Amino acid sequence: MDAELAEILDGIGPRLRTLRRERGLTLEALADDTGISVSTLSRLESGRRRPTLDLLIPLARAHRVALDQLVAAGSTGDPRVHLQPRSRGRGSVLVPLTQYPGRVQVFKQVLAHREPKLVTHSGYEWLYVLAGELRLVLGEREVVLGPGEAAEFDTTEPHWFGPAGKDAVEILHLFGPHGDQAVIRTGPSATR
C-alpha cells in the first residue's frame, strides 16, 4: 500500500469519532442507527479495522455527510462542478446543486408562468429570489418577493410558488426534512 493511501485510510477513524461526538451520539446509538455492531464501530474509530464501503455508506447516511467527507478524498485537479440542468417543461429548468440524500437539497430554478395549484408534503422549504418576482401562496396568504428576498415555510401547509407575472423568475430553492430549519435574519423590504 502506498503512503498516500495509508494516510487517507488512517484519517477515517478519527474523522468518524469526531463526527459521532459532534452529534452527541454514543457508539450504541450509532450502532442502532446503522446496524453496525458497537465493536466494529469502536475498531473503525480506533483504526484497528480498515473501513470498507459496506461500512462507510451507512455511516455517511447516519451522519448526513457525503462519502468523500468521511474519506477526505484528495482533489482530482479539476475544480469545476458539472451541473446537470433538468427541463421541467414549459420553460422551467431545475439545476440540482447538492446530492446528499437525507439532508437539505439545494436547487437553482428558473420557473416559467404556470397556474397555481396548492400542494402539501413532508419537509421544510426556503426560497431566495435571484431575479424576477416570485409569487408565494401559503394557505390563504399570498406574498410577492423580489430579488434578494427570502421566505421559509413548513411544507405540510398548502403552498405554491411561481412567477408573479408572465415573466420567468429565478430562485435558489432549498428543501429539507422536518427538523432542519434555517434562520432568516432579515425580513422582506418595507416597500412590498
Q: What is the pLDDT of residues 62-82, one digit of tens each?
A: 887 777 778 875 555 556 566
Residue 158: its H or E element: none
**Domain ranges within the chain, ordered by starting residue:** 3-71, 86-176
Domain 86-176 of CATH type 2.60.120.10: yes
Q: State the Cα–Cα distance between residues 17 and 119, nearest whole angstrom.
A: 41
Cell 408534503, residue located? 121
Neighbours of 90 (CB within 10 A): 9
| CATH (residue range 3-71) | 1.10.260.40
* Residues 6 or more apart in contact with residue 84 via CB below 8 angstroms: 95, 96
Mean of the pLDDT values across residues 70-95?
68
The model's pTM: 0.55
Cell 450504541, residue located? 28
Q: State the Cα–Cα distance between residues 137 and 73, nearest whole angstrom.
A: 43
> Which residue spans within the chain are E strands per DSSP?
86-87, 93-96, 105-111, 124-131, 134-138, 141-145, 150-154, 159-163, 169-176
Minimum mean pLDDT among 41-45, 88-92, 126-130, 146-150: which range?
88-92
DSSP state of 15: H
pLDDT at 192 (0 to 100) = 47
